[in-house]
Amino acid sequence: MRILGPINSGVGAGGAGVATNNATTTTQVVGCIAGIYVRYNDSCPATTDVTVKTVGTSPAIPSQTILTLTDANTPGLFLPRITPQDTAGADLIALTILEPITIADFVNVTMAQADDACSVDVWFLLE
């Protein structure tokens, strides 16, 4: 396991309740995501949205959303998972264990609907 971060969204701009900003990693993030920790800085309002996604710039696969937090401002550890598919591409919905998300791309952290002084920090726990 290794930790990557923090990736800071940048300080919000645009006004109370509508401020936004985003930042993209300068190096590729490669591995299986065991967890993502999100910390809100400077008393972000409860309307704050956070989106963590891959960039999807060629030759990487198209952008994939890894985590979306809507109307949230409580820091925490999140364990995003996906449903695996069989060889025909069908979801294996009978499985009760979902799989970690695997990535090899640059990652973008976007904060929206916040206040001007707010920002978020994101850490990845990678396998």
Strand partners, 52: 67, 109
The separation between CA 73 and the C-alpha centre of its own chain, rounded to angstroms, equals 14
56 vs 117: CA distance, rounded Å: 29
By C-alpha distance, which of 41, 51, 55, 52 is closest to 71? Answer: 51
Strands of the sheet containing 19-24, edge to edge, are 19-24, 107-114, 49-54, 65-69
pLDDT digits (tens, 9 = 90+) for 39-54: 999 999 999 999 999 9
DSSP secondary structure, 76-123, as one string? EEE--EE--B-TTS-B-TT-S--EEEEEEE-EEEEEEEE-TT-EEEEE
**pLDDT average, residue stretch 21-32:** 96
Residue-range domains of the chain with CATH = 2-81+97-126 (2.60.120.230)
Sign of CA dihedral 54, 57, 58, 62: positive
**pLDDT average, residue stretch 98-110:** 95
Which of 10-14, 42-46, 84-88 bottoms out in mean pLDDT, i.e. has the lowest? 84-88
Q: Do 50 and 68 contact (CB within 8 A), yes or no?
A: yes
**pLDDT average, residue stretch 115-123:** 97
**pLDDT score for 86:** 87
pLDDT digits (tens, 9 = 90+) for 29-83: 999 999 999 999 999 999 999 999 999 988 889 999 999 999 999 999 999 999 9
